[in-house]
Structure 1
Amino acid sequence: MDANRINQFTNDFKDLYYTDPFYESSDYQASEEISAGYFMTEINITKQLMFLGGARFEYTGTNYKGKYGTPKVDEDGNILAGTELKDTSGGNNYGEWLPMVHLRYKFTDWFDARIAYTKTLSRPNYFSLVPWIRVYDFNSEIEKGNSDLKHITADNLSLITSIYGNFGLFSIHGFYKEISNIDYTLEYQINDPGTRYHGYQVTEPVSSDYTSTVMGFEIDLQANLRFLPSPFNGLIFAGNYTFIQSETFFPYFYKVSDGEPPFFVPVFSDTVRSGPMPGQVDNTYNLIIGYEKKGFSARLSYVFKGLNLDISEEPELGSITPSVGKNEEVDHYTGNYSRWDLVLKQKFYKNKFSVFFNAQNLFNLQEFNYLGKSLREIGIEDTGMTFDIGVQYNF
């Protein structure tokens, strides 16, 4: 390469190149420090009754730095150079005790029942906590992060009965959860005539002010059929089904009229509405049929998950989609989804060498996204089929 010609090219066309503020505003710094300690004890009260209890303490410190600004646009809405970005920061520090108590009673060597209480903690996504802001004056929209999001806590109560032995496991699990501070992405309108952002549409992650509840049951069966005559004694079957009901509460904004016609003024009022917890399906099940014999292993599995209020698994700075709208007709849903997978493996040479084949989404099933309870289709996710084939050697 000729360095002089490269420099000449740069000088001739430098006016055409600039730092795109749209991407620069996505820069952020994040730090999170977690320290924890726990104690636990196990007491066999009788031969049948066992107590397991303890507690964990976690202390979390977070610090985030982001950018905010108002992009300059042309008459077509295209972002132009020259947007001024400013630094912003946020963070939080908190400690939380997480106790747990388990009781198990063994009726026989093959049948027991367990009851448990646990308190658990979950933290918001990094991207949701970064204090970035984008104000789009040309279409009256604001997108932002929220460093004031609270951590999620859940009080969990479970009752489990299990039957187990040489041929497999059968269990029934009932559960109830109360969850505080769930976070989701909300879309709302600013209704404050005293600010220049009056009427702007805002999209941001928020923490719920209300307690969410989740209840349901799960049935699980795992069986091998080794009692059958050869070659059927290599068959394996597993399946589980989960039914869940969840409820949480969201802000609800609506317009009303103040006064009598023709002397009335439109004003906005707000209340709350109930709905399913974001990301929580109501039905899910999976089935597995397999075979294992003389180094050969095969698994064919089917997975189904039901409709759920959408939640962004991998949000991006400056590009967030609301899961919860101003009303239920603009909520975002992910539809029913199912998938078939296949895994094959054969071992050789004293089980040190093996050949494997994996296939995911055998029938190329798609995932659909919908708007509102009337399920108006707004998107399709087509992940396609994937195949892996290879060899493995264990030294």
Structure 2
Amino acid sequence: GYTGANDLTLDQYSGGDYNKKFLDSRYTMNPHADAEKFVRFFNTNRQDFELSVDDKLATEAAEAYTASEDVYAWYVMTRIQRDKLMLLGGVRYEYTDVSYTSFNVVNEAEILPQKGGRNYGFLLPQLHVKYKLNEDLNLCAAITRSYARPNFSDIVPAQEININEGEGTIGNTKLKPVSATNVDVLAEKYFGTVGILSGGVFYKKLGDFIFSRN
């Protein structure tokens, strides 16, 4: 970091060339840094810059992780056609196995490796219905079950704790995937070679919604 007596300001190394026709010259570019000026400033004032190895290692460790995810799926489906009515139903089962490694960082001084893993399964049934009122008009409906996995960065067991500042970031290894029950109803009207007019409504119910809390 910079430890000089005076604060760094942009006017110390502002300038440099830029494309004045950027975006058809419709916007005025704000002041920006000249890389060569900053390099000269750095070389002249090296004594005012300090490399904090502990900070760098702690920052890198807090953001570093490895993760692997294996997903196994089985499904069965069937289609039934009865005159104007079509039923398409099925069920899918997904099993997910996750493993990860990360680090716990305490006060930028103590870095401890951390390993973990989890597994879970989801049963995902679905049913689609289509009724043909006439040659140009269809009514469709569907009820499905789906889910969304949390991000790796949210579930790895990494911890970055600064006791002196009373701050910390902790991954939640028990975070559950977001589950959803979806209901869709749709009408389709075909106009020959002109096109199609469709409209519909949907309902979605979420479970185990993921959120951040400070």
TM over 0.5: yes
1:41 aligns to 2:78 (yes or no): yes
Which residue is 2:105 aligned to?
69
Are the equivalent residues in 2 in contact too, given 1:22–1:71 (CA < 8 A)? no
Point out the structure with the larger helix share. Answer: 2
Which residue is 1:57 aligned to?
93
Q: Give 1:89 shift.
A: 2.3
The structure-2 alpha-carbon separation of the partners of 1:137 and 1:49, relative to structure 1 and needing over 3 Å to count, comes to same
Map Cα deviations across residues 136-174 of structure 1 (whole Å, 9 max, x no partner).
123211111111100111111111111123211211111
SS of the residue corresponding to residue 175 of structure 2 reads coil
Question: Gaps spanning 5+ residues in structure 1: where?
Answer: 1-14, 73-82, 188-395
Which residue is 1:169 aligned to?
196
Question: Gaps spanning 5+ residues in structure 2: where?
Answer: 1-49
From 123, 126, 130, the equivalent of 1:104 is 130
CA–CA separation in structure 2 for the residues paired with 1:58 and 1:44:
28
Report the residue type matching 1:114 in the other structure.
C
Are the equivalent residues in 1 in contact too, given 2:61–2:105 (CA < 8 A)? no
Which residue is 2:62 aligned to?
25
Report the residue type matching 2:137 in the other structure.
F
Which residue is 1:136 aligned to?
162
The structure-2 alpha-carbon separation of the partners of 1:169 and 1:70, relative to structure 1 and needing over 3 Å to count, comes to same
Which residue is 1:378 aligned to?
none
Which aligned pairs between 1:215-234 and structure 2 lie closer than 5 A?
A: none
CA–CA separation in structure 2 for the residues paired with 1:161 and 1:65:
49
Report the residue type matching 1:54 in the other structure.
G
After TM superposition, the score normalised by the length of structure 2 is: 0.71
SS of the residue corresponding to residue 110 of structure 2 reads coil
Q: Give 1:25 shift.
A: 2.5
How many residues are paired up? 162
From 182, 201, 222, the equivalent of 2:209 is 182
Map Cα deviations across residues 95-141 of structure 1 (whole Å, 9 max, x no partner).
11101011110111111001111001110011111111111123211
CA–CA separation in structure 1 for the residues paired with 2:52 and 2:180:
51
Which aligned pairs between 1:305-316 and structure 2 lie closer than 5 A?
A: none
SS of the residue corresponding to residue 185 of structure 1 reads coil
CA–CA separation in structure 2 for the residues paired with 1:65 and 1:86:
11
Which residue is 1:217 aligned to?
none
Are the equivalent residues in 2 in contact too, given 1:64–1:147 (CA < 8 A)? no
Point out the structure with the larger strand share. Answer: 1
RMSD of Structure 2 on Structure 1 (CA): 1.7
Which aligned pairs between 1:1-395 and structure 2 lie closer than 5 A?
A: 18=53, 20=56, 21-46=58-83, 48-72=84-108, 83-165=109-191, 166-187=193-214
Q: Give 1:17 shift.
A: 7.4
CA–CA separation in structure 2 for the residues paired with 1:26 and 1:104:
49
Map Cα deviations across residues 205-252 of structure 1 (whole Å, 9 max, x no partner).
xxxxxxxxxxxxxxxxxxxxxxxxxxxxxxxxxxxxxxxxxxxxxxxx
The structure-2 alpha-carbon separation of the partners of 1:69 and 1:105, relative to structure 1 and needing over 3 Å to count, comes to same
After TM superposition, the score normalised by the length of structure 1 is: 0.39
SS of the residue corresponding to residue 60 of structure 2 reads helix
The structure-2 alpha-carbon separation of the partners of 1:44 and 1:18, relative to structure 1 and needing over 3 Å to count, comes to same
